[in-house]
Amino acid sequence: VLVAQRVADLGCVAVGVDYRLAPEAVFPAALDDVAEAVRWMGARADELGVDPSRIVVNGVSAGASIALSMAMRAAAAGESLCAGVLLEVPIGDMREGGMLLDEYAAINGLEDLDVMERMYAGATPFDDPLLSPVLAPSFEGLPPVRILTAEYDPLRAGGEELARRMRVAGVDVAATRHLG
């Protein structure tokens, strides 16, 4: 309902990407799938009734991290796949302690997050910047980024640190913490 309301409010088209999931498909399979979907959308913009220069990639939690990592990888390759990235409670740092899992973890059902992370990452170390984007040596070429965090979300600190580092790197980034 939330996505449908946003689409109606913004007068935009939304495309959901059914990317491959772990443990059957490990990193970077989801990034590959999202990039291919964005390329597909851009190539069929006329028939979809969209402006290819206004494609924004959005994701929530792990999906936000996938959207950002896809945009970072594309930018590093000199490819412009999207006009912007909207991240809702992204995972900024998958390293141990990076997500600051504290008293909010149990509230949000994230006690087993380390197991889920390892299944997703496969053999890729957590300090890879596409898994822990706060460690990126550069954010060069990224389109504008909007980051939404939530006051009682254990991912909040990582998302806010990501926004801070992007701002220092000169990325057009805005971060909003939603209270409650």
Q: What is the pLDDT of residue 113?
A: 58
Q: What is the pLDDT of residue 47?
A: 93
Asked if residues 74 and 80 have their Cβ atoms less than 8 Å apart, the reply is yes
pTM of this structure: 0.88
pLDDT tens readout for residues 51-72: 999 999 999 988 999 999 999 9
Q: Over pLDDT 90: what percentage of the chain?
A: 63
Q: What is the pLDDT of residue 105?
A: 53
- DSSP letter (8 states) at residue 22: T
Q: Is it the case that residue 108 has pLDDT exceeding 80? A: no
Q: Where are the alpha helices (DSSP H) in 16-155?
A: 29-43, 45-48, 62-76, 103-107, 113-121
Q: Is it the case that residue 103 has pLDDT exceeding 70? A: no
Q: What is the pLDDT of residue 114?
A: 63
Of 41-50, 123-132, 153-162, 167-176, the one with minimum mean pLDDT is 153-162
pLDDT tens readout for residues 21-36: 999 999 999 999 999 9
Asked if residues 140 and 75 have their Cβ atoms less than 8 Å apart, the reply is yes
Q: What is the pLDDT of residue 38?
A: 95
Q: What is the pLDDT of residue 167?
A: 97
- As a whole number of Å, the end-to-end CA separation of the chain is 20
Q: What is the pLDDT of residue 99?
A: 57
Of 2-6, 13-17, 45-49, 130-134, the one with minimum mean pLDDT is 2-6
Q: What is the pLDDT of residue 6?
A: 75
- DSSP letter (8 states) at residue 126: T
Q: What is the pLDDT of residue 112?
A: 58
- Torsion, Cα of 154, 155, 157, 160 (10° steps): -150
Q: What is the pLDDT of residue 30?
A: 95
Structure tokens of 16? Answer: 């959901």
Instruction: State how far the Cα of 77 lies from the Cα of 170, in Å rounded to an integer.
Output: 19
**Mean pLDDT (the chain, rounded):** 87
